[in-house]
Structure 1
């Protein structure tokens, strides 16, 4: 939904919007090599309409064009294929519309060429190296379907130390398969500290850090966990679970030192573990009160192995402090702004802090506010811990609105939410609501509900994902509301933005009105890969089989390291989070409104 301060379709940053007569045209304001550039057109007039789009050099020749397309039911999606060899320069988009064969619309606007259109990922064999060790790495170049880039790409790779001295460089390394494998040999006295490896070609780049240090591999791992993972004011005790195990799985025998805060409180004890390596220590709140701050308690655990007297340190805990065991919250899917004449949607959730399960189900929850007079609604918390309601906003209301939710009969359990007014020049607004707030599986359907404060003949919708329009259409809107069903597709993953928009015309001026909602679509990866060893344990020097399952004709790249290496640090591998972050980095996720690209509205 529209955030405060964004007017009309300005929400759709990175997109250009045009209104001329009965035409409504939306397109990206950037284009990329080897990628289809899509332009959506909605026509609300009479007659047979068609349109064509071209991209050309400013003051020069055309470099790409779509076919002329007849608009079916007043709507069309023009596809402009972009060459992979398009050169840098200044470009313009021109759209020409015809009605009954006669030119009715022509206009141009600047579009910007963005060379980055693929993902570059670096994989290292580990995150920390000693002098004289070999840094092994892979560079993967993937297209937007997460497949190896099909064309020949020349990649420049460099390695610099912590003082930014370039110690190695490979220029123009070619790979038809999208994967480069290489290594770098460290000297006997390399500069210690943080190093960087960078891989870059004209379509993208990536940088990864690693550490060069003189270290000894840890013999065992120590992890700490608070039970529960929070502290409630007034409680007398809590537990800390310490797990200490050698990398080959056996428990560590020795002693543990618990360090609270910045060392204000220290407690030592002998480990009492079973074969699982777990020791649980009861902590009395009165003993650590001097180390607790207003927002939490820091805890670290040192385990010393006996008799070798080798010490390893756990992860640091930051245990939050709460006044209640139960949390009441307004979900982010609640309205963040209000439109006079349309209802505000409020979604609240009550859950246990310890395990996030629903709390106080069946109890009553009140929501109060002031809309010219005091208003209150009483709701019942459902089996999922949810309570949902709408408040109708008077057409003339303009002040900020404050809502307060309270669980009846539970002292101190309340939460507040504030919404600000969203207003347009012609005082007509549009709202969009998606039927689910959960991640949608590819292939599943979901509904969008559209409401307006005035009667519109038509509204249009589109779904934006990975920086392009993946779906769109025009809808007849009887009255002031409608519901439409969409199906989640793989190009919509991992995040997509659903936008609805229409044109209001009072005879003197026209205005675009719009709203949007973000959706999460699961199943980012089309090729599901599985790994399975033939045995959980094997003696040194014996063989073990690894079974890999995936789609046919897949090519595998394996990484195998000693588990103790991972205790020194992570970040060397490529994770699912890295891939999803890559979509956002290229402007292909849901954070479109935070990119540097602008939206331009043409009203003629």
Structure 2
């Protein structure tokens, strides 16, 4: 037992000595106080092999995203590699595996060059791609690119204009078909026109009809007995087609015509409801008799169509305001207190009333009535951002927020009816870094659009921004009139930014448009393209000359109408493509083409003939269109508005950007 105890003690001593030796061996050789340089023991930063390498772009391609038949397509190619002194670039348009069009050009570095080709007129539908290939003089292929594009068979916009929206039997229908290109040039070729009945049967056709001055003017005579319903006029040109519908209904000439006139919309704050009742014979002479007025509340589920839903007779039961017969002499004005209507029908907000006037003619012993529908609304004010609810901002660049002030029915706020010192829009701008400038009170201008423009602070930590707008009327905050816009910072790996702005608020054809380009860092030149209807209309290069801001002007041409956008970009030293886009609308009327119209209402001293005198440039053609005022009020006119042209031709187009890096 003693031997075993001595053996354990000796093993313990050996183990302790061994641990001390091991600790001495693992101890730092600088244990005497001499320490090495600090950088020897810091963790090493492993850098990428491309960390200090300048990424250079070799080429830039800008082309359309959409092609059409007979369209002249231009693809702009810029060689950025100075070592490629002469590059042969070929561009081809493919429909699946079939080459539709192609062209080839020889390019030199740093000069944007357009490679132009035309799409055939009979190009079929399919999956289209644009293929770009660049080769050196020795035959080496230095780059190639293939991009899908959209093929749109519609190459024309066709407008069909009628003389009125509603016809009856035995009447003559006159109409025009006006085909135009997207740049509003006239179409001088053949069209096919059809008159289609309510059962889709073709009543009349004109095939291969040649346009005159860019349009055709035709007419069609209805028979005495025809099918009533919705008719259509269809016009076809190239691969484009358009249809215009109009109503043909039964019409019976009455001995007495009764008309009830009121405002279509009445404010609930109005103290009275005012209206006019007129009744005339077919000869135009006023009716002398008795008039009865009945007011009923329209059911929200029913539609106001007297031909389908019969209006209740004045003696029908139900809630109503009934004013008994009174003497009538061709015309009568009536006034109903708003309190009386509210007491009978309750709250009329967003409700409708039917006013029925019954005229009794004692001479012919006949009774005739007519009705009118009026809507009621409550005064409300709203504001909204004209641009998107969410946006993107760039540091040290300008930012503009446009706020529209509207009434409850979406009409323009009438700022002239209020005190501008007490009616304003308060705008507060907040950043996520805690920087919150003082709120600004903007008076409401006549166009009811408040413009809030400021410079974004140049802070790298700013990633989020919010703009809150509030409406104050007579220094009282409107609870329903506040809105907030949230924006995030534009993401750029190299912290490089560019912004293109314009000071021309209303670009017009044959005038100049001024642009200003701002860059956040040094660049030698900035390229820009003006694109409209998927066509690159104009291209140029701006030499920055060591500056960060340059102003230039561009002539506005008809090819930019009705809308276009300018694309400005440059290549950063890191190889990043830095770009910005600015959209703008072009007024299609020109200052150089002036048309004056004079109306002579007493041409032959009978009052039945009206003379229209138009004064314009030589060899111009002026087309007139008129309709009855009563039909214009009920159904709208037959006029061709500028907004109709913009809606037909405006297509949101994108541009292909391809930037190849080493």
TM over 0.5: yes
TM-score (norm 1): 0.73
Alignment partner, residue 355 of structure 1 = 414
- Structure 1 pair 309–154 and aligned structure 2 pair: CA distance change class (3 A): same
Alignment partner, residue 514 of structure 1 = 579
RMSD: 4.8
State the aligned residue count: 560
Alignment partner, residue 554 of structure 1 = 620
Task: Give yes or no for the alignment of 1:172 onto 2:207.
Answer: yes
Instruction: Kindly report which structure 2 residues correspond to 1:513-532, keeping only aligned pairs within 5 A, or say none.
Output: 513-524=578-589, 529-532=595-598
Task: Give yes or no for the alignment of 1:465 onto 2:519.
Answer: no
The answer as to whether partners of 2:431 and 2:462 remain within 8 angstroms in 1 is no
Instruction: Kindly report which structure 2 residues correspond to 1:201-220, keeping only aligned pairs within 5 A, or say none.
Output: 201-216=237-252, 219=257
Quote the Cα distance in structure 2 between the aligned partners of 1:567 and 1:380: 40
Q: Name the SS of the counterpart of 1:498 in structure 2.
A: strand
Alignment partner, residue 139 of structure 1 = 177
> How far apart are 1:42 and its partner, in Å?
4.2
> How far apart are 1:583 and its partner, in Å?
0.8
Alignment partner, residue 231 of structure 2 = 195
- Structure 1 pair 331–273 and aligned structure 2 pair: CA distance change class (3 A): farther
Quote the Cα distance in structure 1 between the aligned partners of 2:336 and 2:486: 45
The answer as to whether partners of 1:117 and 1:204 remain within 8 angstroms in 2 is yes
Structure 2, unmatched stretches of 5+, are 1-54, 301-318
Between structures 1 and 2, the one with greater helix share? 2
Q: Name the SS of the counterpart of 1:321 in structure 2.
A: coil
Equivalent residue for 2:57, pick from 11, 16, 21: 21
Quote the Cα distance in structure 2 between the aligned partners of 1:460 and 1:271: 78
> How far apart are 1:30 and its partner, in Å?
2.4
Query: With CA pairs under 8 Å and 6+ residues apart, which has the higher RCO, 1 or 2?
Result: 1
Quote the Cα distance in structure 1 between the aligned partners of 2:469 and 2:74: 45
Instruction: Kindly report which structure 2 residues correspond to 1:90-489, keeping only aligned pairs within 5 A, or say none.
Output: 91-96=128-133, 104-151=142-189, 153-155=190-192, 157-161=194-198, 164-168=199-203, 170=205, 172-177=207-212, 178-186=214-222, 189-216=225-252, 219=257, 222-225=260-263, 230-231=267-268, 235=269, 237=271, 240=274, 262=299, 266=321, 279=333, 281=335, 283-284=337-338, 287-288=341-342, 291-292=346-347, 296-298=350-352, 301-304=355-358, 307=361, 309-314=367-372, 316-317=374-375, 319-322=377-380, 329=383, 331-333=385-387, 336-339=390-393, 341-342=395-396, 344-348=399-403, 355-357=414-416, 361=420, 365=426, 367-369=428-430, 371-373=432-434, 375-381=436-442, 384=445, 386=450, 388-390=452-454, 392=456, 394-399=459-464, 401=466, 403-405=468-470, 407=472, 410-413=475-478, 415-421=482-488, 423-424=490-491, 426=493, 428=495, 430=497, 432=499, 434-436=501-503, 438-451=505-518, 456-477=523-544, 478=546, 482-489=550-557
The answer as to whether partners of 1:366 and 1:408 remain within 8 angstroms in 2 is no
Quote the Cα distance in structure 2 between the aligned partners of 1:273 and 1:489: 61
Equivalent residue for 2:647, pick from 562, 566, 581: 581
Structure 1, unmatched stretches of 5+, are 1-18
- Structure 1 pair 441–165 and aligned structure 2 pair: CA distance change class (3 A): closer
Equivalent residue for 2:635, pick from 551, 566, 569: 569
- Structure 1 pair 116–149 and aligned structure 2 pair: CA distance change class (3 A): same
